Structure 1
Amino acid sequence: MRFAGLLSVLAGLIWPIQAAALAWAIAGWIAGDMGRTPWAAAIFVAGGFLRAFCDHRAGQILFDAADQTISHQRAALITREARARAPLGSAEIAALIVQKLPLLQPWITRYSIAMIKVAVLPLVLLLISFWFSWIVGLVLLVAGPLIPVFMILIGMAAEQASRRQMDEIGSMNAMVMDRLSAMLDIRLLGAADKALADFSDRAEALRIKTMAVLRIAFLSSTVLELFSAIGVAMVAVFVGFTLLGEITFGSWSAPLSLGEGLFLLLIAPDFFQPFRELAAAWHDRAAGLSVLAELDALDGAERAPFLGEARAARPLDGPLTLSLAGVVAALPGRRVTLPDFSLKRGQSLALIGESGAGKSTGLAALAGLVPLADGQITVCGHRLDHETADAWRARIALVPQRPHFPDQPLYAWLDPDKRHTDPWPALKRAEVDQVVLRLPYGLRTRLGETGGGVSGGEARRLMIARAILSGRELILADEPTADLDPDTAAMIIRALMHLKENGHSVIVATHDPDLAALMDRRVEVGQ
């Protein structure tokens, strides 16, 4: 960044040399001396090539730095959110990664360099102007500082408007994801028009906030152009009347010569050029600061990181046992106390309790996906901690309430350990084989992320088939029969009981009294 700034400043300092060569040649033409032209042309062309090289190299460095910064931040965000989610929706995180992080590029490539140039080039050109004429120097000295003052005042409003725009983008993404996930229910309830109206209102709110940012950007440019136009016009008037002999003061000794006057006219617009570039990049500053503020808030958000490294590991040694003693799960801003219990191979247990009591949190804690504030979980004779979590998860299969299907064929998803076992027996035991046969490409079908192509009950039976195929000894099922019709729920229950009869241990978090009654024990959470 420093080297790029040095190159940009060097490119700006070449113009006074080119301007001097051009003014020198024109003064020679007026005096009848054409011999200056080749030398002036050579200096002007060489300076142009050198400026182009400096600008190109500085831009290359800056864009590489911006790409590396955005890539690093994106990778860090994805890695951190995968390990420990912040209390934000996935749509808001996606908006930050995909839409907002790229706004750092113009902030790095334009605003940072504009600030360096503003700090150097106007001062150099001001000193040169004072060398030839104190009047020209005074005009530039008065007009120049007014621009940053007004830009600072405008910039305060721009930053606030940009932050409101960034917030609206995140909120709108969250709303779109929410409506898409509930599209079937919206259509069944006849609420499509209401959903469309809500979306239209949010889009209009985003338009209003975006236009507010643009109005401020145009205002800052107008202020700059006004003062720069006045400054250049006053220099032109002074130089013109001086050359006409109407003004005899303003220079240090003799009146300005034609060459000196032309030189001052040529460098006066460039005195304002760094301010012009800064004004053009002022919106980039506001957007960049808004993104940085959001990143800082995300960095400081309270999280619940899971145990282990989320890497493939050999299954934990020892017979399957599980026990909890004084366990308190640590969630962001909340602590969940879990009851003490123990479980051995082939046993089953139901976690029951009111909604929000912590049943799902209990299953996550058993899998090492939620840290503990107190107490201890012992698995296979080992303390469940950072060192044993990956190996412990190699012995358990999780059946979540909301299944997630990656972008891969169904046969690959059913066999994550790549054991290349025939999946049809497991599919039949889960009573989902006919569902797979009805899919367009059978086992080669790629389902939607949330199970698009199958119903909720069919998706959960596919999860159970995956658990059967994995051969893992402990099954953790989160509300496996929730929101299902009685026939589909009975299929889920039969599949879970089949696992238990074949020696698997089963723990379910459920509100279903029929499912809870079939478990060996029932433990209430939140008493």
Structure 2
Amino acid sequence: MDKSLEKQLAQWLRNQKGACGAYLKLSVLLGVLNGALLVVQAWLLATVLHGVIIEYLPRSAFVVHIGLFALLIALRALVAFGREKVSFEAGRRLRVQVREAVLSKLTRLGPAFINGKPAGAWASIVLEQIEDLQDFYARYLPQMSLAGFIPLIILCCAFPLNWAAGLILLITAPLIPLFMILVGMGAADANRRNFSALQQLSGHFMDRLKALPTLKLFHRAAAEQQAIAKASEAFRERTMAVLRLAFLSSAVLEFFGAVSIAVLAVYFGFSYLGELNFGHYGTPISLFTGMFILIMAPEFYQPLRDLGSHYHAKAQAIGAAEALMELLNAPEPLAVGHTAVPAGELTIRAHELKVLSMDGVTLAGPLSFTIAPQQKIALVGPSGAGKTSLLNVLLGFLPYEGSLLVNGIELNSLDIHQWRQHLGWLGQNPQLFHGSIADNLRLGQSELTDTELWHWLEQARVDDFVKAQADGLQHAIGEFGAGLSVGQAQRLSLARTLAKQAPLMLLDEPSASLDSQNEQWVLDALWNALQDRGCLMITHRLDQLDRVDSVWVMEQGTLVQQGSVASLSQTEGLFQRMLAELPLQVSLDEIADADIVTGGVQ
């Protein structure tokens, strides 16, 4: 990983620690308190040993010391427990805030952005990668402070007793963080590759799982099984690379910690044997001094060893932060506006409108058009002409250049959430969630009563299906509409859309995946509901355009024709060529006659 990028990610992680609140500081405070109690505990134990072994004092003289020592053991255990609880709470608060920020960002970016990655990849970011921030805030950041405070406290106690011992501690202390850094240099990059492999595996697996019936139908299950096995093996290898680094780091730190303590023990051993005579302040080294410093020596290196063992948490967090920072810093399709949508019927005017992708590439345009109140418009054209991009920009899911006015106010200055309340949307792939039918119908409209729900179910011609269920409106639906036919799912989605009673409906081929009977039911329900509303509908059914006021024909991102069915069918151009290619070879005169009979607007 590039060093400048790694520094950016580390800084981004530190900038988020405000979400932990006071719990992060409280965790450090409890850790310092634990270190201070350890010093007192070491002093009590060294005093008892020196008195019993050197001064031949009776054990009864140290009853208070032993009692305090036992009390300190319990107190340290309590402080350690409290620190674990506080540290976990700090990480939990951070994860909650980051997850809320990620979900809010995805909501603002919209489906045009989200469809750029498989659903499994987003699940990996929202779940695994955010979870992997826990140890960085709960353990690594507090331990960084403790790795400075606790050794400093011990040095302040050691130097007044023996400067040589203090010097040994001071000189050997940097060895542990130095080798920690050397061993962990590649850890962040290894974790980044591991997260990348996890995203690919999650996305690949979830997409194949959803398409399992289709794969079996076309005898592709075995081939996809091999592909998943290959992706799993790549993920296993990268996971093992991360674990190798983590275990190597722990082994190196334990080795240098043990060597440093051994040097200190050798110094005191030779001093007691009379081979070394330096380090003291004019008086011989007592057993108390040696025992006190040797008891504290492992605890002097312990915070540094703990920091090393938690170093992989930093590398893990940096690997996770790359995708999170990229997502949270992604440019949003529309600026955050606060202007209320003007009251009254909606009139939309576009002039030299260019629809852009999230990275600034022109998807459609320049376009100039007007959508009048209650006007019904059919949007037709070959695949890739830019029809869906036009709907996405009206929904606020894509950025644009030029002018797009809603009742005279630029769209990017409107309150986008309020604007979407004025729109009803229905696509060809309905999204239903795990829950009851009522829960799905009330999505975003919790105020709807059961009576109103039955009304819209009847409008969508799906009330008979719901009445046939034992639980009625409480009938459970599986994830992605499991347990429903395509037609039933589409009509339930239609009922949900109609219940919104939006003045403008945006429809993206709502009948494309239906059989002829369900298609007729959906279209009939739509036209009945659209009598007093506007509509912009992408459709491939050119033989069913007799009820629209106007037809817009798109090709290569531009509107090449606009007009009624009757006028366009008599005009040489793309629309006429598309009519000639209809599978049923519908007569142009029949379509024109149907338009005249139903009173189509010219």
Normalising to structure 2: TM-score of the pair?
0.77
Q: Where in structure 2 are the equivalents of 1:73-472 lying within 5 Å?
A: 73-85=98-110, 89=117, 90-305=119-334, 317-319=343-345, 321-333=347-359, 334-335=361-362, 336-337=364-365, 339-345=367-373, 347-379=375-407, 384=411, 386-387=413-414, 393-411=420-438, 413-414=440-441, 416=445, 418=448, 420-421=450-451, 427=457, 430-432=460-462, 435-436=465-466, 441-468=471-498, 471-472=501-502
| Residue-by-residue CA offset, 1:36-89 (whole Å, 9 max, x unaligned) | 422432442354355345434444433332222221222222222212245563
Change (3 A) 1:368 1:136: closer
Instruction: Indicate if the aligned counterparts of 1:322 and 1:342 stay in contact, CA closer than 8 A.
Output: yes
Q: Distance in 2 between matches of 1:103 and 1:469?
A: 41
The equivalent of 2:44 in structure 1 is: 21
From the superposition, tell whether residues 113 and 347 of structure 1 become closer, same or farther in structure 2 (CA, over 3 Å): closer
Offset from partner CA, 1:22-48 (integer Å, 9 cap, x none) = 122112112211264224324423543
Q: 1:370 to 1:516 in 2, by over 3 A?
A: farther
Q: Which moved more, 1:222-231 or 1:36-45?
A: 36-45
Q: In the alignment, which residue of structure 1 is the partner of 2:561?
A: none
Q: Distance in 1 between matches of 2:514 and 2:132?
A: 45
Equivalent pair of 1:327/1:337 in contact (CA under 8 Å) = yes
Change (3 A) 1:228 1:509: same
Counterpart contact for 2:124–2:198, Cα < 8 Å: yes
- The one-letter amino acid paired with 1:455 is S
Residue 496 of structure 1 contacts residue 506 of structure 1 at CA under 8 Å; is this kept in 2?
no
Q: C-alpha displacement at 1:343, in angstroms?
A: 3.5
Residue identity opposite 1:65 in structure 2: A
Q: Which amino acid aligns with 1:263?
A: F
Give the deviation of 1:411 after TM superposition. 4.3
CA RMSD of aligned residues (A): 3.3
Which of residues 42, 59, 76 is equivalent to 1:51?
Answer: 76
Q: Judge which range, 247-256 or 21-30, deviates more.
A: 247-256
1:505 aligns with 2:534: yes
Name the SS of the counterpart of 1:339 in structure 2.
strand
Instruction: Tell me, in whole angstroms, the C-alpha distance in 2 between the residues paired with 1:27 and 1:264.
Output: 13
Distance of 2:488 and 2:259 partners within structure 1: 73
With structure 1 as the length reference, what TM-score do the two structures score? Answer: 0.87
Q: Structure 1: where are the runs of 5+ without partners?
A: none
In 1, the alpha carbon distance for the partners of 2:433 and 2:94 equals 28
- 2:292 and 2:411 map into 1 onto residues whose CA distance is 78
Change (3 A) 1:187 1:419: same
Contact 2:391 2:506 in 1 (8 A): yes
Distance 1:144 1:389, change over 3 A: closer
The aligned amino acid for 2:324 is: L
Q: Specify the code of the residue in structure 2 equivalent to 1:37.
A: F
In structure 2, what residue type is equivalent to 1:2? K
More divergent stretch after superposition (465-474 vs 138-147): 465-474
- CA apart distance, 1:439: 5.6
Contact (CA 8 Å) 1:27, 1:259: kept in 2 or not? yes
* Structure 1 CA distance for aligned equivalents of residues 70 and 461 of structure 2: 80
Measured after TM superposition, the shift of residue 124 of structure 1 is 3.7
Report if the CA contact (8 A) 2:108-2:332 is conserved: no
- CA distance in 1 between counterparts of 2:453 and 2:27 reads 59
Q: Helix, strand or coil for the counterpart of 2:430? A: coil
Assess if the C-alpha contact under 8 Å between 2:349 and 2:371 holds in 1: yes
Measured after TM superposition, the shift of residue 474 of structure 1 is: 3.3
Cα deviation, residue 513, structure 1: 3.2
Q: Aligned-pair distance for 1:230?
A: 1.5
1:450 match: secondary structure = helix
Structure 2: where are the runs of 5+ without partners?
1-23, 559-602
Cα contact 2:351–2:402 (8 A) shared by 1: no
TM-aligned CA deviation for residue 489 of structure 1 = 4.2
Q: Residue 32 in 1 paired to residue 59 in 2?
A: no
Q: Are 1:9 and 2:32 matched, yes or no?
A: yes
Mean Cα deviation higher: 176-185 or 136-145: 136-145
Distance in structure 1 (CA, Å) of the matches to 2:451 and 2:401: 40
The change in CA–CA distance for 1:235 and 1:470 in structure 2 (over 3 A counts) is closer
Return the alpha-carbon distance in structure 2 between the equivalents of residues 346 and 442 of structure 1: 34
**More off after superposition, 433-442 vs 299-308:** 433-442
Partner of 2:512: 482
Residue 246 (structure 1) shift: 4.4
Task: Tell me how far 1:347 sits from its aligned partner.
Answer: 3.7
Mark the CA change 1:377 to 1:358 in structure 2 (over 3 Å): closer, same or farther.
farther
Report the CA distance between 1:351 and its aligned residue.
1.6
Q: Are 2:94 and 1:69 aligned? A: yes
Partner SS, residue 349 of structure 1? strand
Percent identity of paired positions between Structure 1 and Structure 2 = 31
* Gap change, CA 1:308 and 1:433, over 3 Å in 2: farther
C-alpha offsets along residues 322-342 of structure 1, whole Å, 9 cap, x if unaligned? Answer: 433332334311333263233
Taking the aligned partners of 1:389 and 1:56, their CA distance within structure 2 comes to: 47
- In structure 1, the partner of 2:599 is none
Cα shift at 1:197: 2.1
Residue 328 of structure 1 aligns to a residue in which SS? strand
Secondary structure of residue in 1 paired with 2:174: helix
Secondary structure, aligned partner of 2:173: helix
Distance 1:319 1:241 in 2: 95
- TM-aligned CA deviation for residue 466 of structure 1: 4.0
Residue 478 (structure 1) shift = 0.2
1:275 positional shift: 1.5
Residue 367 of structure 2 aligns to a residue whose secondary structure is coil
Q: CA deviation at 1:344?
A: 3.7
Residue 190 of structure 1 aligns to a residue in which SS? coil
The aligned amino acid for 2:376 is S
The alpha-carbon distance between structure 1 residues 460 and 137, as it changes in their structure 2 partners (threshold 3 A), is: same
* Partner AA of 2:426 in structure 1: V
Per-residue CA distance 1:454-502 (angstroms, 9 max, x = gap): 33344333333444555544332102233445555455444444455x4
Tell whether the 8 Å contact from 1:236 to 1:265 is kept in structure 2 after alignment. Answer: yes
CA distance in 1, matches of 2:65, 2:502: 83
Q: Which amino acid aligns with 1:214?
A: L
CA distance in 2, matches of 1:63, 1:510: 53
